[in-house]
Amino acid sequence: MKSHTLLTIVIILVLGNVSCDNREGKNDQDTRQLNVLWLVAEDLGPYIPSFGDSTILTPNLSRLAAEGVRYTNVFSVSGVCSPSRAALATGMYPSAIGAHHMRTLFQQPAAKAMGIINYECVPPPEVKMVSEIMRQNGYYCTNNRKEDYQFFPSKIAWDESSIFGHWRNRDEEQPFFSIFNFGVTHESNMWNPFGRTYDLDTFPPERNIEKWWERFQNVQKPLYVPEDLEVNIPPYLPTTDPVIADVRRMYSNIVEMDRHVGVVLKQLEEDGLFDNTIIVWYTDHGGPLPRQKRLLYDSGLKVPMIIRFPDQQRAGEIDDQLISFADFAPTLLSMSKIEPPSYMQGQAFEGKFKSPVERNYIHAAADRFDETYDMIRAVRDERFKYLKNFQPEKPYYLPLAYRENMATMKELLRMRDDGTLNEIQMQWFRSTKPEEELFDTRTDPHEINNLAGDPAYAKKLVELREECERWMASIDDKGFIPEEELIRQFWPDKVQPKTEAPVALWKEGKLHIDNATEGASLGYKSAKDEDPWRGWQIYKRPIAVPANEEIKIIAHRIGYAPSDTIVIKGMNPIL
**186: domain CATH number?**
3.40.720.10
* Strand 35-41 to 176-182 pairing: parallel
Three-state DSSP state, 223: coil
**38-83 pLDDT tens trace:** 999 999 999 999 999 999 999 999 999 999 999 999 999 999 999 9
DSSP 218: T
Q: Report how far residue 511's alpha carbon sits from residue 533's, in angstroms, rounded to the nearest whole number.
A: 24
Q: Is residue 285 part of a domain?
A: yes
Task: Indicate whether 81 and 42 sit together in one domain.
Answer: yes
Residue environment code for 523-562, b if the CB has 16+ CB neighbours within 10 A, otherwise e: bbbbeeeeeeeebbbbbeeebbbeeebebbbbbbbbbbeb
Catalytic residue among 20, 81, 141, 468: 81
Task: Indicate whether 7 and 69 sit together in one domain.
Answer: no
Task: Indicate whether 18 and 159 sit together in one domain.
Answer: no
CA-closest candidate to residue 150, choices 219, 199, 211, 92: 92
Q: Is residue 470 part of a domain?
A: no
Among 327, 357, 387, the domain boundary falls at: 357
Active site residue 81: yes
Point out which residues pair with 40 in neighbouring strands.
181, 282
Among 328, 357, 386, the domain boundary falls at: 357
Q: Is residue 5 part of a domain?
A: yes
Q: Is residue 532 part of a domain?
A: yes
Task: Indicate whether 312 and 345 sit together in one domain.
Answer: yes
Q: Report how far residue 444's alpha carbon sits from residue 454's, in angstroms, rounded to the nearest whole number.
A: 15
**357-373 pLDDT tens trace:** 999 999 999 999 999 99
Among 357, 384, 415, the domain boundary falls at: 357
Task: Indicate whether 201 and 227 sit together in one domain.
Answer: yes
Task: Indicate whether 297 and 229 sit together in one domain.
Answer: yes
What pLDDT score was predicted for residue 215? 73
Q: Is residue 156 part of a domain?
A: yes
What pLDDT score was predicted for residue 216? 74
Three-state DSSP state, 420: coil
Task: Indicate whether 142 and 10 sit together in one domain.
Answer: no
Q: Report how far residue 564's alpha carbon sits from residue 358's, in angstroms, rounded to the nearest whole number.
A: 45
Task: Indicate whether 4 and 82 sit together in one domain.
Answer: no
| CA-to-CA dists, residue 357 to 87, 348, 391, angstroms | 21, 10, 35
Peptide bond before 103: cis, by omega within 30 degrees of 0? yes
Task: Indicate whether 84 and 16 sit together in one domain.
Answer: no
Q: Report how far residue 235's alpha carbon sits from residue 97's, in angstroms, rounded to the nearest whole number.
A: 36
Task: Indicate whether 174 and 204 sit together in one domain.
Answer: yes
Q: Report how far residue 279's alpha carbon sits from residue 178's, in angstroms, rounded to the nearest whole number.
A: 10
Domain interval for residue 182: 35-92+126-357
Task: Indicate whether 233 and 302 sit together in one domain.
Answer: yes
Report pTM.
0.93
Q: Is residue 414 part of a domain?
A: no
Tens of each residue's pLDDT in the chain, 575 residues: 333 333 233 332 222 333 333 333 333 334 458 999 999 999 999 999 999 999 999 999 999 999 999 999 999 999 999 999 999 999 999 999 999 999 999 999 999 999 999 999 999 999 999 999 999 999 999 999 999 999 999 999 999 999 999 999 999 899 999 999 999 999 999 998 776 555 667 788 888 877 777 777 778 888 899 888 899 999 999 999 999 999 999 999 999 999 999 999 999 999 999 999 999 999 999 999 999 999 999 999 999 999 999 999 999 999 999 999 999 999 999 999 999 999 999 999 999 999 999 999 999 999 999 999 999 999 999 999 999 999 999 999 999 999 999 999 999 999 999 999 999 999 999 999 999 999 999 999 999 999 999 999 999 999 999 999 999 999 999 999 999 999 999 999 999 999 999 999 999 889 999 999 999 999 999 998 777 788 999 999 999 998 889 999 999 999 999 999 999 988 554 43
What pLDDT score was predicted for residue 199? 65
DSSP 194: B
| CA-to-CA dists, residue 167 to 93, 135, 312, 394, 480, angstroms | 29, 13, 21, 48, 42
The number of folded domains in the chain is 2
User: Residue 85 phi/psi, 5° resolution?
Assistant: -70, -25
Q: Report how far residue 501's alpha carbon sits from residue 556's, in angstroms, rounded to the nearest whole number.
A: 9
What CATH number is attached to the domain comprising 557? 2.60.40.10
What pLDDT score was predicted for residue 198? 59
Q: Is residue 16 part of a domain?
A: yes
Task: Indicate whether 19 and 131 sit together in one domain.
Answer: no
3-state helix, strand, coil in the chain (%, to 5): 30, 20, 55
Q: Is residue 111 part of a domain?
A: no
Three-state DSSP state, 83: helix
